[in-house]
Amino acid sequence: MKISDIFAQNERTFSFEFFPPKDEISAIDFGVNVGQLMKLSPSFVSVTYGAGGSTGGRTFALVDYLQNKIGLTVMAHYTCVGASRSKVLEDIRYFRSKNIENLMLLRGDPPKGAADFAPPPDGFAHASELIALVSGEFNRLFTIGAGCYPEKHPEAETLEQDILQLKKKTDAGADFLIAQLFFDNRAYFDFVEKVRKAGIGCRVIPGIIPITSYAQLNRFFKLSGATIPGGLADKLEAAKDNPDRILRIGVDYAIEQCRGLLEGGAPGIHFYTLNKSSATVEIFETIR
């Protein structure tokens, strides 16, 4: 099913993001966790794609499995790092051949060790170019999602400039946006207001990640630059040697964050599950 059809029937969607397991043990763990999450009947699920195609084969196999064996509505992530135009077209045809009707189209990050993003000679410098190609060549066969950044993309000088670039993605054919993780709802609502002023009318689905360990915090910050509100940071700092307490604080915070988002009019929640189920199950069951 196309996500645009799901939107037409539902004011809100609840979706789960997974990454392809790296080895056999993680695959077993993944199966157990997905089993728990499926009981919650998500609107759709998405599968990430490693930069430069590093998870290419595993992403392709997993989206095929979830879509065709489990019968879920799947959105395949796809990045154009290092990919030529013909490779992109070949990969998108593969998704089509596996009945995938939804794509999250991204530029991707520069490969490890490279300071800046450098497209190959016949490739793409920005996600908007990838979106324009797929949207044009496949004649709207896919619902297309794109990424957005309530606290600005790390490479953008200002949020305003980033939003101008974001508009290119929706003009090129992105049907909806999923927001990078954030912990301060004010950042999301201010961002949506600015996005609307810039003439972007589509859904902006907040992306939520539950904090489940103290060690994750640094990684989240490096990934997204997301601000951790003072009160939350203090609580986490005070409990940093108590993993159970950190988990409790993280889950309770995510529950309140999701409630605040939904009460404020957000069109659902996209959960970055990190392939774990217990925190997401508790949050989802509490908020719905």
Ligand X SMILES: Cc1cc2nc3c(=O)[nH]c(=O)nc-3n(C[C@H](O)[C@H](O)[C@H](O)COP(=O)(O)OP(=O)(O)OC[C@H]3O[C@@H](n4cnc5c(N)ncnc54)[C@H](O)[C@@H]3O)c2cc1C
Which 67-126 residues touch ligand X, going by CB under 6 A?
A: 77, 79, 104, 106-109, 126
Q: Which letter does DSSP use for residue 51 in this model?
A: G
In angstroms, the CA 273 to CA 278 distance is: 9
Residue nearest to ligand X (CB): 147
Which 127-146 residues touch ligand X, going by CB under 6 A?
A: 127-128
Q: Which letter does DSSP use for residue 140 in this model?
A: T
Residue 175, helix vs strand vs coil: coil
C-beta of 15 vs 214, nearer to ligand X: 15
Q: Which two tokens stand for residue 280?
A: 């997401």
Q: Which helix (H) or strand (E) holds 77?
A: strand 74-79
- 55 near 78, Cβ under 8 Å? no
C-beta of 103 vs 249, nearer to ligand X: 103
Q: Minimum CB separation from ligand X for residue 100, in Å?
A: 14
Q: Minimum CB separation from ligand X for residue 193, in Å?
A: 18
Show the binding pattern over residues 194-233: x = contacts ligand X (CB under 6 A), - = does not: -------------x--------------------------
Nearest to 184 by CA among 261, 279, 272: 261
C-beta of 106 vs 247, nearer to ligand X: 106
| Strand-pair partners of 102 | 75, 143
In angstroms, the CA 106 to CA 128 distance is: 8
Q: Minimum CB separation from ligand X for residue 53, in Å?
A: 10
Nearest to 234 by CA among 223, 243, 246, 218: 246
Read off the amino acid at residue 11.
E
Show the binding pattern over residues 12-51: x = contacts ligand X (CB under 6 A), - = does not: ------------------------------------xx-x
Question: How many chain residues interact with ligand X (CB under 6 A)?
Answer: 24
CA gyration radius for the chain?
18
Nearest to 128 by CA among 147, 142, 141: 147
Stretch that binds ligand X, among 135-143, 161-169, 239-247, 279-287 (CB under 6 A): 161-169
C-beta of 46 vs 277, nearer to ligand X: 46
C-beta of 168 vs 245, nearer to ligand X: 168
C-beta of 76 vs 249, nearer to ligand X: 76
Residue 124, helix vs strand vs coil: coil
User: 285 catalytic, yes or no?
Assistant: no
Q: Minimum CB separation from ligand X for residue 113, in Å?
A: 15
Place of tokens 């992105």: 174
Footprint of ligand X (CB under 6 A): 48-49, 51, 77, 79, 104, 106-109, 126-128, 147, 153, 155-156, 162, 165, 168-169, 178, 180, 207
Residue positions annotated with a catalytic role: 17
